[in-house]
Amino acid sequence: MIEIEPFLDAFPVLIVIPCWLRSRFNGLAVGTGSAGQSKLSRSQIAAVGTRIASLLLVVPLYIAFPVIMVVVGLSASRLARLDVPATRALVFSGSTRNSLVVLPLALALAESLSVAALAVVTQTLVELVGMVILVRLVPRLTGRARRLSGR
């Protein structure tokens, strides 16, 4: 079921080298990892269009996740009495899944499961749109929550 060669090709570029660079040069890994993940994503974009009908079935789940996690994050921050910056960090870290990290694994699956890699790319596209929306929305939500609670 799993073809190990694509995973072995991607693992050093997306995991090992960025981690080593980060430990060695303190922060350089972000750009290296992003470049590798971007290349993998671009290689799958055309295929997303060919399977769009089946991929659209999961888009509502990808949209629901950050919506639910914003509510969970805001609720947890109130329970923990977090300040605004910590609340925003909690909401954003809970709302994103960093799905591209699993893309090499999805690409290593057998051809019959190739839609998994396309689902990861689709999830990433939805997540990027969601993050653009949350960049505008979360400061308003956390600012209003702060005024209402008197913090």
Position 28 scores a pLDDT of: 62
d(CA 149, CA 143): 10
76-103 b/e (C-beta count within 10 Å ≥ 16 → b): ebeeeebeeeebbebbbebbbbebbeeb
Stretch 56-83: mean pLDDT, rounded? 93
Identify the three-state secondary structure at position 109: strand
Position 6 scores a pLDDT of: 67
pTM of the model: 0.66
Identify the three-state secondary structure at position 108: coil
Number of CB atoms found within 10 A of residue 123's CB: 21
Q: Are 70 and 138 in contact (CB under 8 A)?
A: yes
Q: What is each CA distance from 148 to 8, 78, 143, in whole angstroms?
A: 52, 11, 9
> Which range, of 42-51, 65-74, 128-137, averages the lowest pLDDT?
42-51
H-helix or E-strand spanning residue 74:
helix 59-80
**Segments making up each domain of the chain, as ranges:** 4-149
Position 43 scores a pLDDT of: 65
Structure-token pair, residue 17: 């080298």
